[in-house]
Structure 1
Amino acid sequence: MSQLNLFSSSADQPINLLPYEGCVLYYGPVMSANEADRFYELLMQTVDWKNDEAIIFGKKIMTKRKAAWYGDHSFSYTYSQVTKTALPWNDPLLELKAMVEKILGVTFNSCLLNLYHDGQEGMAWHSDDERELQKNGTIASLSFGAVRKFAFKHKQTKETVALDLAHGSLLVMKDITQTYWLHRLPPTTKVSAPRINLTFRIMNHPG
């Protein structure tokens, strides 16, 4: 696995971290440490966090990790064989959405949030390629709290790329990335603090 601690010469022009068949851009921190701290606390307090659900081998389980799903409309989103209905935006999420849209020049209509209480909670290999999502659409990922490793693996060649996601940082996955690459948040015993992750997404409009 190639471990990346990578910034381009200009923070405004990050380079593609993937060697082929996809595009992942890491902008690093896109706000001050104080602002990142402020949003971390606001998200902890204002998001309607619920233990996430998944169906594994036909059995419904509740994860320690918590999640929340927000959007412009009451979008339905099914992953891990469980369907969520989007909640209306709150003010901190709208503020972060506007900031990310200004940086990227992309309009998002939904956001999936995850709360990892410590390093023992992670996410297995997967792609964000559900039918409800815009195909080859942009996904913008904001991280708050503990620094965690994030990894990519090519579906055919099994080549891997990994980097550390900093507090207040922005990572973007776009184009054909979800078709050819898996990604995960590996568990670790080295991290004891919580991490909040927001992934702004583009849902296909119902009807």
Structure 2
Amino acid sequence: MENLDLFSSHAESGEWLDIPDGKLYWAPEFISDVDSEAYFRQLSAELNWQQETIRMFGRDILQPRLQAWYGEAVYTYSGLTMNPAPWTPSLLAIKTACEQVCDRSFNSVLANLYRDGQDYMGWHQDNEAELGLQPVIASVSFGEERRFVLTHLESKQKKEFNLKSGSLLVMAGTTQQFWSHSVPKTQRPKSPRINLTYRTIL
């Protein structure tokens, strides 16, 4: 799976989307179904998944998902400091494919494991100072399909994507300044999903 040829034909299916005050890249078939299933099994087994505690509204709460942090930089958000584990071959192969699409290098990845429909990501912006003024964040999904919702902070315009296994969504430009995003919880039965968000920590 570490051969970049696996990504080449699917990367051509994506396109950059101009949105008000932002920029997105959407490739619903970035990685084939067969390879996505293999990556899901491998990442499930090899990453050091943890349920972390963060500080929200003045109190400590357990995050409603499991996480792992890999790469070359320390990352701090919501009172949580994450020290990176070394890259794995799978994470590096996917990183290189994302870098070709985005024409930039990434030095870290935040991995999220959503165990079922009750695991979620609340509304937020990836706008920490160490990400820079216009961060590029490449999000690759494996496993169960989940809704991803963006809302413009001023106009309240919404955009939704169904993040299927093997899809790539990139947020770039001023997206983090003007848009908030989330992965809502759902009452529908959902099997596990892994999401990799590659980023550059300055």
Report the TM-score, using the length of structure 1 for normalisation: 0.87
Match of 1:144 in 2: 142
**1:102: how far off?**
2.2
SS at match of 1:203: coil
Do the aligned partners of 1:15 and 1:25 also contact (CA within 8 Å) in 2? yes
Match of 2:23 in 1: 23
Match of 2:153 in 1: 155
Cα 1:92–1:13, aligned 2, differ >3 Å: closer, same or farther?
closer
**1:17: how far off?**
6.0
Pairs aligned (count): 192
Q: Which amino acid aligns with 1:61?
A: I
Q: Which amino acid aligns with 1:52?
A: E
d(CA) in 1 for partners of 2:63, 2:122: 12
d(CA) in 1 for partners of 2:68, 2:14: 31
Question: Kindly, what percent of the aligned residue pairs are identical?
Answer: 36
| 2:123 aligns with one of 122, 125, 133 | 125
Instruction: Please tell me whether residue 101 in structure 1 is matched to residue 115 in structure 2.
Output: no
Do the aligned partners of 2:28 and 2:164 also contact (CA within 8 Å) in 1? yes
Q: Which has the higher helix share?
A: 2
Unaligned runs of 5+ in 1: 1-9
Do the aligned partners of 2:13 and 2:29 also contact (CA within 8 Å) in 1? no
RMSD value over aligned CA atoms?
Answer: 1.6
Match of 2:59 in 1: 59
Match of 2:8 in 1: none
Unaligned runs of 5+ in 2: 1-10
Report the TM-score, using the length of structure 2 for normalisation: 0.90
**1:13: how far off?**
4.8
